[in-house]
Structure formats: C-alpha cells, structure tokens
Structure 1
Amino acid sequence: MNWSKRSRQRKLTRVKVYRYQDANQFYDRVKDYLLTDEALHNVQLRLCHSLIHNPESFEEKPLLATVEVEGDILAVAMRTPPRNLLLSKIQDFRAIEAIAQNLHLTENSLPGVTAPTNEAKAFAETWRSLTSQSYEMKMALRAFQLKQVEKISQATGQLRQATECDRELLIDWFEAFGVEALGIALTNTERAVERHLQRGTAYLWENETSVSMACHVGITPNGAAISLVYTPPEHRGKGYASSCVAALSQTLLSRGHKYCFLFTDLANPTSNHIYQAIGYQSVGDLYDCSFFRE
C-alpha cells in the first residue's frame, strides 16, 4: 500500500484515546514517541521518571493518556493535579478534539494547558467550545538544548552545591523566582527545597556570599534539565547567572548526560541571550495557557 492511500485511509479511521493507570506501562508505550523530540518533550519525560521512581511526590492520581489511530500514537497527554494539562507535539490535529472530548467526560474544568504553540492554541479553542471556559496566554516559552558549553567570561566566584545551611535562603529565592518568573506564589516551597537538599540538586554561585541559584530539576534518557535560575536584584548585571548555569551545565554533562535542557520566557530577552551565549540552542516554542470562567 502506498503512503498516500494509507494516509487517506487513516483519515477515515476513528481516533481513539487510551488512558493508563500504571506509570511504567504508560512510559513503555510513549517513550519512543517522546524521544523523537527529546528536548521539546523533556518535561513529559522527566515527569514519567518521577512518577515511576518517586510516586510519593504526587498527592493526586495523574492523568496519563495517548491518542492513537491504528496503533500509531498521534499525541501524548499528561496531567498531575493541580498542574496544567501537558500535550506533546501532535502529528494529527484530530487528536486535539479526541483528547478534549475525553477529558470533558471526567474533568469539570482545567487550570490550563502547556503545549507546543499550535497545539496549545488548538486545544484552548476546542476546550472553550466544549466548556465555555475562556483562556489567555500566560507565557510564551522557548525550549533550549545544549550539547557543549561554550567558553564565556566567568564571573568572580565558583559553583557549589547547596547545603542544609542554605535552607532559608533557598526558600526565599524559590518564592522570589515564582513571583518574578512565573507570576505566581509557589505552593509547598519548603517541601520543594527539602527535596532538592535531600537529592543534592540545588546549586549556588558563591562570591564571598551566595549571589545566584540554579537547580537540576530532573533527567530524561539522554539529558538533564535546569530550572529555578534566580539572582536577587542587588547582584544582577555581573554575570553570576551566566556563570552559574554554565558551570552547572558542564557538571551535568561531565556526569554523562548528552544534553542539558531549559526553558525561557520569550518576554525576557536577557535570559534568552545569556543562555545562547553559553551554548544553548532553540528547539521550539510553547504556550502556557490559563483557563477561566468569565
């Protein structure tokens, strides 16, 4: 059968949604699909790893679903309440209608959706037509991937792993990051700091005193992700964040990870510039959309 004929037949085939109760079975099913664009899907891959290895971190049952036709995955959907719905890159936009209809049977409302740009727009419109929930684009994001750290002018100081003595500082900086970078007051900040201290994944740039922060927030089969990059206002403009992220990226690559990943807010030209100078390359854009009732 030639490709065009198969394609026409697939368009006539009913799209099906499959939900999974077991994170291991779900990961086995979606791993290869997500790895076709590992950088863009690094949140989903990291989330799978956490659900399998640290299920106690999640207070509510996750939503794990695929949209398929004739055994081929068209889309992957995930949600760990109270967070947004996460959608993968989608091969066939019939999957948007299918997952929205399926969710509408079990969810009275959603807080939002995070997905590649076109997928986020399409789902938000479909969800609005089903539920009368309006939406707004909360943040335009860009996904970045790094294979090799470029040499930059290093700021004075050095990277060090955060310790128990830094607990209060980390709580303050986590909260400040949430307000400044995300526009929200983060919940369970103390619990998040506790996890990072236990796992040794919070790092500080030290120049006589702590001046910048970056955290290793999870792994994928081939990479490691960085987030929670924060420098307090009085220490900005001195290259601390660049040096902190560059040093942490190199640390993670030296441990055997092939890539490092991070996301930036497209409205922040400074962060987009400094990460590219370090060696991060753009791999795609996403929207973070919020839903609300008027």
Structure 2
Amino acid sequence: MLPDDWHLTQDIDDFLARAGDFLRSRPALHNTPLTDIEKLRIRRAAEHDAEAAVFGRLESGGEVRAIFYLTPRGRLGLTPLSVEQTDTLAAHLAGLGHSPANVIADHDTASAFAESWQRRTGGGVPVVFWRTHLYRLGTLTAPQRRPEGQGRITGGEEREQVVRWCREFCVDVGEQSSIDLIDAGSWGDSRFGDRHFTFWETPDGTPVSMAAATSIVGGMVRVDPVYTPARLRGRGYAGAVTVEVSRAALAAGATDVVLFTDPANPTSNTLYQRIGYTHVADFAGYKFSYGAPQAG
C-alpha cells in the first residue's frame, strides 16, 4: 500500500471489483475511464496485450474516492483529483518509474497533473493536444426541420466507407494518432474499432452522414464520432443521425448518453444543445516529452 491510501494493481478484475461501483456512480463524468477500462478488460481476456495496464484507486474512509489507469500505450486517465492529490500521484508514478505519454482528465485535474509531472520529472513543457466540452443528454428533441431520409445501422460490407469517413474525421480534428493506426491497418486498435455505426441516408439510399456509439458500460453510451463530409454539411444530416443514435441508446437501456464537442466549433455545440444535450464539464489532454538519456 502506498501513502495516502493509493492502491496499485495490474489485476483488472480485482480493480473493477473494488472500484467498479465508484466508476458507475457518475457514468457521464467517468465515461472515458468506463470505456477505456472495458476495452482493456476485453483485450486482456483475449491475451491481446503482452504488457498489462496499471490501475490505481484512492481510498479514504473505506471508500474509493478516485482512480487512475495507465494503458500499455501510455495513456494516463484520471477521475477528478485535487491539486494535492495530483501532486501525490505524480510523485508515486515517477518514483515507480512510469513514463506516461499523455494524460486526459477533466480540465482542472489534467492541468494540475501536467504541472506536477513536469516539476517532478524535469521533462519538457506539457503540450495540450485535446480540449473539449462534455455534454449529457437531457430530453431528446428532434430537429424542427428533419431532412429527408432515414437512419440505418451499417453492415460489414460498408466497413471501407466507415473507415474512410473516420479517417476524414480525424484529419478534420487533427487526430494524428488515430490516422496512424488506420493507415497501418490497425483499425481494431484505434478508438473506433469497437464502435457501432449508423448512417443517415437519403431516400435513394445514399449515405450522407455518420454517427457512432459505444456499447453500454455502466449504463452509459458515448456518441463518437459524428461526421458529415464537407460538401454535404449544413443540410441537417448531422443532427438527424445524432438523434437517431441517441434514441437507439435510450431504447437499449442507457441511463446516460454523452458526447464530446470541440469548444472552437460553435456550430456543433449549438446543434447538440438544440437536440437536448447539456454541458457537464470541460476536459483536456496533455502530452509529455522526455529528454533522451545522455551517452555514458
């Protein structure tokens, strides 16, 4: 056991047995840990990863107050922590020799950890690579002007188009890590590999927009991504397909339907609010750099 009641393990089943209720207690706020850890659990069960992830839980008074997870690819995910708690965790991880490639969390936690990590390790200045608003669905409201056509779940024969549109989405938002995985043929390792995709298609059957959703984890479904090719935007397709996917998530039993938006895109933020999504929190991601060891 580490100071301040941080407990670390590589046993994902034991971790979920002890911290699962905490993660499910706030499914909207914890949406990324829920989906990331579930993906790690599935991959570990299939022995897909030779190197295990590291999981930690912060306990106080016999209750879990926060968690972290460090994936084999170096992503450090955190639930909300105070400045003091992030500094303590940074000291723990640095002392154990861990070197996360990046951290993602709510804005305040991610920023505090990035500052502590730089101070503790002497690395380069952390660089922001992700800023986003988190929205949660309240009352789903269909657009007043619904475009002609209908939503349709994609089939396996449409994977090529799904992959192509996901790559175009990543180019639009500057998500280079996913582009690299797609180009390397590692679709299953990308963040899109476990999604369920829906097309919005015109009456003649032509797909014009796409939205995807995660499986239900802890009662939560995250809509991600939503993409319409540039030449087809401004016609209501994105709103229509988002409503379709959101309605399907509710029908499947989801209690929390969430999505992330780019703060710099007022069009998408306005659209999602119009169909019933409300702002919950802001999130951020920082990537770390480490100096090369000196010879000798």
**Category of TM-score, reference length = shorter chain:** 0.7 to 0.9
Which deviates more from structure 2 when the two are superposed, residues 72-81 or residues 267-276? Answer: 72-81
- Please list the CA deviations of residues 5-42 of structure 1 after superposition, one character each: whole Å capped at 9, or x if unmatched: xxxxxxxx951321122212111222232233220111
* TM-score in terms of structure 1 length: 0.86
Deviation at 1:76, TM superposition (A): 0.7
Match of 1:114 among 68, 86, 104: 104
Q: Shift in Å at residue 211 of structure 1?
A: 1.1
User: Amino acid of the residue matched to residue 86 of structure 1?
Assistant: G
Residue identity opposite 1:129 in structure 2? R
Letter in 2 for 1:78: Y
- Return the alpha-carbon distance in structure 2 between the equivalents of residues 15 and 30 of structure 1: 17
Q: SS where residue 292 of structure 1 aligns? A: coil
Q: Larger deviation: 25-34 or 280-289?
A: 25-34
Correspondence 1:44 to 2:33: yes
Partner SS for 1:15:
helix
Tell me if the contact between 1:167 and 1:193 (Cα under 8 Å) persists in the aligned partners: no
Contact 1:140 1:267 in 2 (8 A): no
User: What is the distance in 1 between the residues matched to 2:191 and 2:33?
Assistant: 20
Quickly say closer, same or farther: Cα 1:39–1:57, change in 2 above 3 A.
farther
- Residue in 2 aligned with 1:100? 90
1:141 to 128, 132, 135: 132
Displacement of 1:83: 4.7
Which residue is equivalent to 1:78?
69
Cα displacement (A) at 1:292: 2.3
SS at match of 2:215: strand
Change (3 A) 1:136 1:196: closer
Deviation of 1:165 after TM superposition, in Å, equals 2.3
Aligned to 1:273, the other structure's residue is in SS state helix
TM-superposed deviation, 1:200: 7.6
Cα distance in 2 for residues equivalent to 1:233 and 1:81 = 35
**Partner Cα distance (2:22, 2:147) in 1:** 40
CA shift in 2, pair 1:195/1:86, >3 Å = closer
Change (3 A) 1:80 1:253: same
Structure 1 unpaired stretches of 5+: 1-12
TM-score of the pair, normalised by structure 2: 0.85
Is the contact made by 2:194 and 2:214 (CA closer than 8 Å) also made in structure 1? no
Residue equivalent to 2:269? 272
Gap regions ≥5 residues in structure 2: 292-296
Q: 1:63 to 1:199 in 2, by over 3 A?
A: closer
C-alpha distance 126-250 of structure 1, shift in aligned 2 (>3 A): same
**Which residue matches 1:247?**
244
Moved more, 120-129 or 249-258: 249-258
For residues 237-277 of structure 1, the C-alpha deviation after alignment (integer angstroms, 9 at most, x for no partner) is 11111111111110111122122111112122111111111
Q: Does 1:290 align with 2:290?
A: no
How far off is 1:213 after superposition? 1.1
1:77-108 deviations in whole A, cap 9, x for unaligned? Answer: 01223252111012x43321222122113445
Matched residue, 1:17? 6
Q: SS state of the match for residue 242, structure 2?
A: helix
Q: CA deviation at 1:52?
A: 3.1
Q: Matches of residues 114-193 of structure 1 in structure 2 within 5 Å? A: 114-133=104-123, 134-152=125-143, 153-186=145-178, 187-189=180-182, 190-192=185-187
Name the % identity. Answer: 28
Q: Is the 8 A contact 2:74 2:101 kept in 1?
A: yes
